[in-house]
Amino acid sequence: MHIIRRLFSLRITHPTLSGLWYAFFWMMIGALILSLLLHASLMEEEQLSLYTYIVHGIALLFGGLVSGKRSGKKGLYQGAITGLFYSILLLLISFLALDHSIGLANLVLILPAILIASAGGVFGVNLRK
């Protein structure tokens, strides 16, 4: 059993990369749930933007939490870096894949992303102890 676990396990040791991995993982799960709710007609498209921000906030919180827990120290810093990279990657994907222009309104959303992930990083460092 240990051989199988050793062969097929993937452990990202860098705190920021592992935080980004978990943030995008939770974002994908949230997007799947939102699309299933939208498909089942339990939600209207006008409500989708609010729930999308909630999913991103939860993903950022978990990403910062994992980042802070893996680093063991400087959770505020690790969470902030995770939030910054997460938001920049989302803006880049939005710009390239969806052909949206990057404006000031999009750049302002980087600050809450950094703050939410930083809070997760602080909680993550304290979970390790």
Taking the CB of residue 109, how many other CB atoms lie within 10 A of it?
14
Q: Using alpha carbons, list the distances in angstroms from residue 89 to 48, 100, 126.
A: 21, 14, 27
- Based on its alpha-carbon atoms, the radius of gyration of the chain, rounded to whole angstroms, reads 16
Contacts of 127 (CB under 8 A, 6+ apart): 65, 68, 69
How many CB atoms within 10 Å of residue 111? 12
Per the prediction, the chain carries an average pLDDT of 86
Q: Over the stretch 36-87, which tens digit does the pLDDT of each residue have?
A: 888 887 777 787 888 899 999 999 999 999 999 888 888 889 999 999 999 9
Q: Which long-range contacts (CB under 8 A, 24 or more apart) does 5-10 make?
A: none
pLDDT at 108: 87
